[in-house]
């Protein structure tokens, strides 16, 4: 079966790599893909939001399944469009993708179906004065302010005191810093604990969880500095035991899926829960409607099953109620970012040394912001490469990765040195 993967990041490279090992896979296309994907996929020059051109391509090239990587086309309704044209596609339609596209939608659903989340309140721009009052009367800080809509991961502000919270409120409603994404906001309490990412296949009937992962959002070691798209990840997460996993499924995932069903929303794709574990109890921070990046790069290398049948079954609402088989190994992904990231990102710097890793079987490199320019591999965005290692222990995987990173060079290379440090196993 021919497969079309939509997107151009490390997540999509990893999806293409895993699908390339499928016994069912025929030709693999990526739109638009990136420089590193060409070893496992044919990159085609169609943008992620060009629904008609993408569907025409799928029809013309006998694509049996289209897998959508990023959220923007899902929130924009790509899956509905493909299904209307009779094409199988992995990812929820526009209604289901609201779980990521609207934090207010998710908060309301969570409240209605009893999913534990931080206490808070929704305000629209017309309720500016009420929001000010709410902030002023808050006795606990930090307070968290969130834009309703998609904001490239920058729409969540953690205000350490009242003045900062009021300034943020003005950024949302007066300065309109987040445009229409900030027409409604949520003000909520700050939860403490540790975060985990749980990705599940969900097809409207069955829920099949993938193994847990943790990602690292801040640019610097010890979770310092600015938020990024993700600087690294690891899987599994040893500190989450079976009992806690059951709590997560029973108190968060199952009520959400029941809620989607009762609201009449046909969801077929990944349901990705961002969770805070606080004193042994899970709370929902957010939902995403797609594979996580860089969680995917730490999770899929451990998946022993063939991925493509899972994707296809889920997209056709025929998901099997059986667990996925996982390797016992530990997997780590360390992201190499370009100079200036996350405020800016550089393009066109030559990337050297990848050929030295070609013989190293314990390392994989997934490309994100890379391109070819005059026969050179160059940087082409903020997150450039994900270096992934799988080994008997996290410590061994880390050693392999950090030894490999020494060989990879480009101007201003940034990476964290504490990914999967001291996580057990
Ligand atoms: P979200 O997009 O809602 O997941 O928020 C992005 C990040 O902000 C999360 O991964 C958390 O690190 C942080 N965050 C969001 N909401 C809260 C909260 N209520 N308490 C503590 N941290 C939060
Ligand atoms: N790793 C966070 C995300 O994919 O949104």
Residue 73 pLDDT: 98
pLDDT band at 424 (very low <50, low <70, confident <90, very high): confident
| Tens digit of each residue's pLDDT (9 = 90 or more) over 143-155 | 999 999 998 777 8
Phi and psi at residue 242, to the nearest 5°: -55, -40
Judge whether residue 245 has pLDDT over 80.
Answer: yes
Q: How far is the CA of 355 from the centre of ligand 2 (A)?
A: 29
Q: Which residue, judged by its Cα, is nearest atom 3 of ligand 2? A: 292
Residue 412 pLDDT: 95
Judge whether residue 346 has pLDDT over 90.
Answer: no
Nearest-CA neighbor of 294 among 357, 235, 361? 235
Average confidence (pLDDT) over 399-413: 96
- Counting ligand 1 atoms within 8 A of each CB, the residue from 105, 195, 285, 293 with the most, and so the one to mutate, is 285
Q: How far is the CA of 287 from the centre of ligand 2 (A)?
A: 10
Average confidence (pLDDT) over 418-425: 91
Give the residue ranges of DSSP H helices in 113-195. Answer: 128-136, 162-173
Judge whether residue 273 has pLDDT over 80.
Answer: yes
Atom of ligand 2 nearest to the CA of 288: 5
184 neighbors 176 (Cβ within 8 angstroms):
no
Average confidence (pLDDT) over 281-290: 98
Q: How far is the CA of 199 from the centre of ligand 2 (A)?
A: 11
Residue 378 pLDDT: 97
Q: How far is the CA of 229 from the centre of ligand 2 (A)?
A: 6
pLDDT band at 181 (very low <50, low <70, confident <90, very high): confident
CA distances from 125 to 50, 154, 179, 186, 219 (A): 32, 19, 11, 11, 32
Residues with CB under 6 A from ligand 2: 215, 230, 288, 292-293, 295
Any ligand 1 atom below 6 A from CB of 185: no
| Tens digit of each residue's pLDDT (9 = 90 or more) over 16-52 | 999 999 999 999 999 999 999 998 999 999 999 999 9
Average confidence (pLDDT) over 331-352: 94
Atom of ligand 2 nearest to the CA of 11: 4
Question: pLDDT exceeding 70 applies to what percent of the chain?
Answer: 100
Average confidence (pLDDT) over 253-267: 98
Residue 360 pLDDT: 72
| Tens digit of each residue's pLDDT (9 = 90 or more) over 311-326 | 999 999 999 999 999 9
Q: How far is the CA of 403 from the centre of ligand 1 (A)?
A: 33
DSSP state letter for 417: S
Ligand nearest to the CA of 69: 2
Residue 141 pLDDT: 94
Q: Which residue, judged by its Cα, is nearest atom 4 of ligand 2? A: 292
- Counting ligand 1 atoms within 8 A of each CB, the residue from 154, 156, 192, 233 with the most, and so the one to mutate, is 156
| Mean pLDDT, the chain, integer | 96
Residue 361 pLDDT: 75
pLDDT band at 345 (very low <50, low <70, confident <90, very high): confident
Q: Which residue, judged by its Cα, is nearest atom 5 of ligand 1? A: 156
Phi and psi at residue 170, to the nearest 5°: -65, -35
- Number of neighbours of residue 192 by Cβ within 10 angstroms: 8
Any ligand 1 atom below 6 A from CB of 286: yes
Residue 2 pLDDT: 98
Output the DSSP codes for 86-128.
T--EES--HHHHHHHH-HHHHHHHHHHTT--B--EEEEEGGGH
Ligand nearest to the CA of 295: 2
| Tens digit of each residue's pLDDT (9 = 90 or more) over 299-311 | 999 999 999 999 9
Judge whether residue 214 has pLDDT over 90.
Answer: yes
Judge whether residue 56 has pLDDT over 90.
Answer: yes
Average confidence (pLDDT) over 87-112: 98
The pTM (predicted TM-score) of the whole model is 0.97
Q: How far is 126 from 249, CA to CA, in rounded Å?
A: 37
Question: pLDDT exceeding 90 applies to what percent of the chain?
Answer: 92
Atom of ligand 1 nearest to the CA of 283: 19
pLDDT band at 191 (very low <50, low <70, confident <90, very high): very high
């Amino acid at each position: 079966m021919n497969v079309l993967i939509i997107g151009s990041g490390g997540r999509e490279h990893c999806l293409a790599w895993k699908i390339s090992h499928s016994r069912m896979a025929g030709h693999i296309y990526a739109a638009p893909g990136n420089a590193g994907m060409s070893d496992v996929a044919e990159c085609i020059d169609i943008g992620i939001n060009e629904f008609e051109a993408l569907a025409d391509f799928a029809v013309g090239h006998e694509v049996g399944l289209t897998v959508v990587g990023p959220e923007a086309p899902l929130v924009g309704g790509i899956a509905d469009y493909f299904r209307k044209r009779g094409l199988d596609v992995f990812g929820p339609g526009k209604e289901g993708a609201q779980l990521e596209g609207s934090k207010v939608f998710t908060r309301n659903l969570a409240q209605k179906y009893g999913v534990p989340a931080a206490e808070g309140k929704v305000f629209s721009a017309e309720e500016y004065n009420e929001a000010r009052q709410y902030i002023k009367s808050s006795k606990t800080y930090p307070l968290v302010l969130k834009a309703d809509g998609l904001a490239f991961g920058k729409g969540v502000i953690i205000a350490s005191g009242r003045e900062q919270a009021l300034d943020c409120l003005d950024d949302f409603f007066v300065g309109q810093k987040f445009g229409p994404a900030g027409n409604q906001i949520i003000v909520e309490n700050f939860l403490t604990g540790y975060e985990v990412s749980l990705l599940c296949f969900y097809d409207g009937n069955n829920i099949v969880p993938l193994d847990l992962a943790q990602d690292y959002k801040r640019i610097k070691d010890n979770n310092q500095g600015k938020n990024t798209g993700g600087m690294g990840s690891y899987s599994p997460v040893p500190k989450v035991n079976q009992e806690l996993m059951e709590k997560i499924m029973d108190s968060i995932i199952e009520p959400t899926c029941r809620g989607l069903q009762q609201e009449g929303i046909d969801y077929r794709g990944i349901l990705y829960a961002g969770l805070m574990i606080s004193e042994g109890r899970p709370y929902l921070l957010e939902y995403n409607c797609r594979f996580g990046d860089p969680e995917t790069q730490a999770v899929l290398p451990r998946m022993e099953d063939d991925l493509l049948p899972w994707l296809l079954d889920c997209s056709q609402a025929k998901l099997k109620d059986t667990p996925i088989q996982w390797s016992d190994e530990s997997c780590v992904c360390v992201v190499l970012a370009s100079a200036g990231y996350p405020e800016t990102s550089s393009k066109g710097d030559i990337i050297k040394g990848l050929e030295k890793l070609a013989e190293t079987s314990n390392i994989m490199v997934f490309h994100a912001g890379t391109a070819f320019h005059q026969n050179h591999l160059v940087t082409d965005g903020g997150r450039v490469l994900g270096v992934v290692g799988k080994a008997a222990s996290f410590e061994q995987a880390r050693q392999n990765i950090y030894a490999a990173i020494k060989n990879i060079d480009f101007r201003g290379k940034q990476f964290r040195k504490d990914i999967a440090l001291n996580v057990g196993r």
